Amino acid sequence: MKNTKFVAILLAGASLLPFSGVPAFAAPKNAGTQPVKFEFAKNPQNPNDGIFVLDGKPFQIRGGEIHPQRIPREYWDHRIKMCKAMGLNTIAFYTMWNDFEQADGSFDFKTGNRDIAAFLQLCQDNGMWVLFRPGPYVCGEWDFGGLPAYLLKEKDAKIRTIKDKNFMEAQTRYLKAIAKVAEPFRAQNGGPILMTQIENEHGSWPRKDPEYLRWLKDFWTKRGFTPIYMSDGAGDHFLRGMIYPDKDVCIGLDPGQNDGAWRVANKYNPGVPVFSSETYPGWLRRWGEGNWTPTNLSGSIKWYMETGRSFSVFPVHGGTNFGFTAGANNDPRTGGDYHTDLTSYDYGSPINEQGNPTKEYHQYREIIGNALKGKEKLPPIPKPIPSIEIKDFTPRFFANLRDNTETFPFRNGGKFKDAPYFEAFGQNQGLAFYRTRVPAGAAGTLDFDGIHDYAHIYLDGKLIATVDRRMKKQPVAVPAREKAAELEIMVEGMGHINYGGKMESDRKGIVGEVRLDGKALKNWTVVPKTLSADSVADAKKAESQDKSVPGGHFRGTFNLSKVGDTFLDMSKWGKGVLYVNGHNLGRYWSQTMDGKPVGPQLRLYCPAPFLKRGKNVVDVVEFELSEPRPIRGCKERNYDMNDIKTQNMNNQW
């Protein structure tokens, strides 16, 4: 491992460990890349417990989770250095399959923040070990838990199981590809990867498949990615039915913050090490909830350092759900309602979305530094990334929402007897326009099995209803018609559910039947509009604006003499997607069509690498408002929206 190689003797006074004295750290062992041996051993003082051993000496993992795919590549080194300066020695990270795989089935491991080899090299260059988490399912509040949406094409599709041939073939292709990228960085090859996680929180999945977990263990073991760990909640419900006991697989707890959690894990896998693989500094946030709130982990960090127990803060820096990568949840607390996650993945983490330290960061750094008693000198905190303000500018109308639709290679010209969901014709998110004819008749009622996830419903071009999946399903009143009329449903697909048993049924668009007065409507035409960054940038300007239809594509510019990070304030807009210089910054949702606040996120993070000196182009695809509103750039994200007290769940759904 380049630079410093940490070999820690665990802390004195640990009730379960046989070691005494202050922590000791080996001097740097060669500036090159030396193979190391990382393994499990029994704790001599407690045969039910285990310890981590690095090159023959006990080792404490002090980890922090960051996701390279949520961070601009230009900032990777800064974020890794921020972790090291907090006193951490290990970086944990997921890899998101659906971001790597391209439409033609190839894998992109080189472009931008997908270059996982470059990220691993930076970890190594900074003297940081790695916990490698390739999934294939990762959860992580990422769209569909990192799985590609095409797995939902067939109605009877199953995921996370050896019993579905399509899933197994697809995930095997991905795993072989990501393994090839990571293989040179195994610790046995002189790289930073100490452990590899198989799957993720499978014990929380309602349909457990131990055979699938054994397949994954065998896959990684054959390729030398050992030792291996699995992670899940610290309880019988989560750990029962897995592949424990297994002396070659250690247990990561999500989270483990007391002796009781360790005892549960020791019961299922005696003699093998346990660590807190996800120690939460806050919690995820969804649209319509309260603002970001940190959970102070000072007590837990102090306990880990006093007892020598290994841990990883999830996430120590969350980053941003750029584009359409934000996931969603089917919340059991509210009867299974659908809630989609914010564009920000700030999470209340000690390193905030822009990469700056919070007050909690300084507290954790002090606790870790004091516990190390000077045996390891913490590096200085990196200087903050400069941020800038941008004066108000107002984009102008550019095109209507119905303009610049895309031509899919439909075999039937986009015509279907029954309305298809997005995944059936190869679309993930974005918009689609569903159109059919309804006969003349008296006022009636439109009901549906599922419209996922947000929609405007028009009759002969006039808006008659808005459907929001977050709310309970309500029938839509349809006006009387003297003659046949066109029914159009513009559907926005938002994040796929990334956790729980509803993942397999969370398809986008129209799902199931749409009925008028109880009779299913047939003969639909589908017109897709993916809202990809390229399609928005290449859109053609419309000759005129149809102001009878809410929303539209608005384009504006601003000039910069210098670049820096900024947060673009969308508080005066409604709901839509924001693009800067061809980069999709993600969704905003400030208010409903009738002016009711949504939030809490009102500002979208725009990192300096997305900007340039001189002219910058902003595209706003707005769904609610027909008139453009001002936008400004701020030096920090908003903290002032929604006084709702949102609970930090700590993985206790």
- Show the domains of the chain with their CATH numbers: 38-138+167-324 (3.20.20.80), 390-398+533-634 (2.60.120.260), 415-529 (2.60.120.260)
Residues 6+ apart with CB under 8 A from 373: 22, 23
How confident is the model at residue 472, as a pLDDT? 77
- Nearest of 294, 344, 340 to residue 316 by alpha carbon: 294
- The first and second tokens of residue 183, run together, are 């293989």
Q: How far apart are CA 322 and CA 388, in angstroms?
A: 20
* Residues facing 50 on adjacent strands: 42
Rounded to two decimals, what is the model's pTM? Answer: 0.93
Q: Which pLDDT value is given to residue 12?
A: 27
Number of C-alpha atoms within 13 angstroms, CB side, residue 498?
28
pLDDT at 421: 97
Q: What H or E segment, with its residue span, contains residue 83?
A: helix 76-85
CB 357 within 8 A of CB 351: yes
**What is the C-alpha to C-alpha distance for residues 12 and 532, in angstroms, rounded to an integer?**
55
The pLDDT, as a whole number, for residue 502 is: 92
Please choose, from the candidates 257, 377, 255, 269, the residue with its C-alpha nearest in 3D space to the C-alpha of residue 4.
377
Q: HSE (CB half, 13 Å, CA atoms) of 98?
A: 25
pLDDT tens digits for range 619-628: 999 999 999 9
Amino acid at residue number 222: K
- What does 230-292 look like in DSSP terms, one character per residue? EEE-SSHHHHTTSS-S-TTEEEEETT--SHHHHHHHHHHSTTS-EEEEEE-SS---BTTS---
Q: How many helices (H) and strands (E) does the chain have?
A: 10, 34
Structure tokens of 58?
């006990």
Q: Which residues contact 39 (CB under 8 A, 6 or more apart)?
A: 52, 53, 227
The whole-angstrom separation of Cα 101 and Cα 76 is 22
- What are residue 610's DSSP bridge partners? none
Task: Return the number of other C-beta atoms located less than 10 Å from residue 526's C-beta.
Answer: 24
User: d(Cα 608, Cα 100) in Å, to the nearest integer?
Assistant: 24
Residue ranges in the chain modelled with pLDDT below 70 = 1-33, 332-336, 641-646, 652-653
Query: In the sheet that 566-569 helps form, which strands lie side by side, from edge to edge?
Result: 390-393, 631-634, 566-569, 603-606
Q: Contact 131/197 with Cβ under 8 angstroms?
A: yes
| Burial class, 614, CB count within 10 angstroms (exposed 0-12 / middle 13-18 / buried 19+) | exposed
Name which of 347, 530, 521, 326 is nearest 427 in CA terms. 530
The single-letter DSSP state of residue 514 is E
Q: Cα separation of 434 and 411, whole Å?
A: 17
> What pLDDT score was predicted for residue 34?
86
